[in-house]
Amino acid sequence: MCVKLIGIENIPMVSPGDDIGTIIIEAAKSEGLEIMDHDIFVVAETVVSKAEGNLIELDSINVSAQAQEISEKTSKDPRIVQSIIDESVEIIKVGPNFIISETKHGFVCANAGIDESNVESGFLKPIPVDSDESASLIRKTIESATGKNVAVILSDTQGRPFREGAVGVAIGVSGINPLWNRQGERDLYDRKLETTTIAVADELASAASIVMGQANEGLPVVIVRGVEYAEKLRSTYSDIKPILRPKKFDVFR
């Protein structure tokens, strides 16, 4: 089994109003890259958010007393703190230079996923408002242009407890189930596997991140090609929710 991680070249700088699905199709065409059945497109959320015009102008932010207070604890710009509060349903941990919260989407991550890199100066970029819907729109555009069944994963780069360094994770999916439940399958000794649910969408996002890099490579879209079980995981009704552990079942919250 050989899987390829193909970084699509020629993706231009994205501006608000751009259609990411169309940009992907054109960039692939321009390098003679044919889109195939069961290709999985991992798209960096940053270009999607930009295309959707989902930018916050720093100077337009009104700072609340809560934001001012957290700003003092974290040494963060109070306007950035305010935007993190606005994007969150719960602030979970605050410390020197970090804020961990649960976003409106249900992601537990630092700074509500808002970042300042790879956006114009003076702006912040939150993650897309409805990351599954963003993925779905891209999938439908690619599918209707090519007639192929594809999947789309929106990816972000996030830190995690216990381990240093950030990794690519999935924040939106379309055309693929984010979890692969292998319970009941058999191991090499023909015994049933006990608990083996694989977060395949996160593994795909991490794999794509190897190619994307994080700085100035300009490779925000990676095709993962040749995943034999992609067909089995196909779903046109999937969303990211099954990968988000509810608070009441999370022993670290």
Q: Is 2 in the site for its own copies (CB under 8 A)?
A: yes
Residues 52-111 that bind its own copies (CB under 8 A): 93, 95, 98, 100, 107-108
- Whether residue 148 contacts residue 37, with contact meaning beta carbons closer than 8 Å, is answered with yes
Alpha-carbon gap, residue 113 to 100, rounded angstroms: 10
Q: Is 167 in the site for its own copies (CB under 8 A)?
A: yes
Q: Looking at 29, 148, 232, 253, which residue binds its own copies (CB under 8 A)? A: 253
Q: Is 162 in the site for its own copies (CB under 8 A)?
A: yes
Q: Looking at 60, 147, 165, 237, which residue binds its own copies (CB under 8 A)? A: 165
Q: How many residues bind its own copies (CB under 8 A)?
A: 74
Residues 111-150 that bind its own copies (CB under 8 A): 116-121
Alpha-carbon gap, residue 171 to 151, rounded angstroms: 14
* Alpha-carbon dihedral 167, 171, 175, 176, rounded to 10 degrees: 50
What is the separation, in whole angstroms, between the first and last Cα of the chain? 39
Buried b (16+ CB within 10 A) or exposed e, 2-32: eeebbbbeebeebeeebebbebbbebbeeee
Residues 17-36 that bind its own copies (CB under 8 A): none
> With respect to its own copies, which residue has the nearer C-beta, 144 or 196?
196
Residues 201-230 that bind its own copies (CB under 8 A): 202-204, 206-207, 209-211, 213-219, 224, 227, 229
